[in-house]
Amino acid sequence: MKTMSTPLAAVYSTSVMEHHHFNQTVTILQQDGHNILKSLSSDEYKRALSLIKHCILATDLALFFPNKARLSKIVAENSFDWQNNEHRALTQAVLMTGCDLIASAKPWAVQTETVKVIFEEFYEQGDAERMNGKEPIAMMDRQKAHELPQMQVGFMNGICMPCYELLSRVIPETDQLKERCRYNANKWEELAEEQKRRTEEEAI
């Protein structure tokens, strides 16, 4: 978004799409017949909007890492308290990331189809960047599509698994998400190894 210097990037300095999503939410709520929060008092309405904004902005993956670090420290110190507002806010934020990444914990057939669709969108952005004289990052480079399995291994092990592992410690009922994610991560590792073998054989 920022690389392409889009109008939205000029409006918002950080978390571009996330701020846009929140502002669109407020716009919808202000339309006749769409304000599902109209029965709330003024203070309740402000708190509700604050929570909505907090949760939407938390879907910015750049914010996941500091949120995870803070919540992990609290959990490691065995000091997590559901009555603590900061602890609840951090859990909400990590939960939003978990929701955003949920395809990684879906059945394998759903996971692969979702990745295919997402990467096609990435490649289209990379194509546009290349047409504008900019070299796209590997993830958005159609010419490096053969590296997709290995990229997924890094994504699953570096982001998805840590997210669900942390959530399972705070909310044990989410443990199945961690296990499904682990299964998919292992499948991507198998595909990455297979691709590596093919590449080595072709080089002989």
Distance from C-alpha of 108 to C-alpha of 55, rounded to nearest angstrom:
28
Closest to 181 in 3D by CA, of 167, 166, 154, 161: 161
| Residue 32 counted as an annotated binding residue | no
Binding-site residue numbers for Zn(2+) are 100
Binding-site residue numbers are 100
